[in-house]
């Protein structure tokens, strides 16, 4: 996808500004403008795959963003909760517990 077809994603720019121009470029122009826009998987499916990968790897900082992004891509909160429960058995109980704690915060159900 060329720059002319950019989706206007600025998450990398917002996070890093001029500090890490390479990270900004690959996040905004390659990952979100190209990979996330490929037609072979829906954004909803990409979100579920990403939530699964981040949960399995224990990457809760990025999971925080991607749980909310998954909701914006059409995944219901109940589906995400069930996904995290399912992942706990395949990705390890501690990873599932940590991901569920993040989901509770993201979904506004914190204490």
Contact 63, 102 (CB under 8 A): yes
Read off the pLDDT of residues 57-108 as tens digits, 9 standing for 90 and up: 999 999 999 999 999 999 999 999 999 999 999 999 999 999 999 999 999 9
- Domains assigned to the chain: 8-37 (no CATH), 43-106 (1.20.1290.10)
Read off the pLDDT of residues 10-31 as tens digits, 9 standing for 90 and up: 889 999 999 999 999 999 999 9
Percent of the chain that is helix, strand, coil (3-state, to 5): 75, 0, 25
pLDDT at 110 over 80: no
Contact 33, 6 (CB under 8 A): yes
Burial of 102 (0-12, 13-18, 19+ CB in 10 A): buried
pLDDT computed for residue 9 by the predictor? 82
């Amino acid at each position: 996808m060329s720059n002319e077809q950019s989706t206007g994603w600025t998450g990398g720019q917002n996070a890093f500004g001029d500090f890490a121009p390479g990270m900004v470029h690959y996040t905004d122009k390659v990952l979100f403008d190209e990979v996330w826009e490929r037609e072979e998987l829906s954004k909803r499916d990409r979100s579920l795959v990403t939530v699964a990968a981040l949960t399995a790897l224990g990457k809760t900082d990025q999971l925080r963003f991607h749980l909310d992004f998954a909701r914006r891509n059409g995944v219901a909160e109940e589906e995400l909760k069930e996904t995290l429960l399912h992942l706990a058995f395949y990705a390890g109980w501690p990873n599932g517990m940590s991901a569920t704690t993040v989901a509770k915060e993201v979904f506004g159900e914190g204490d």
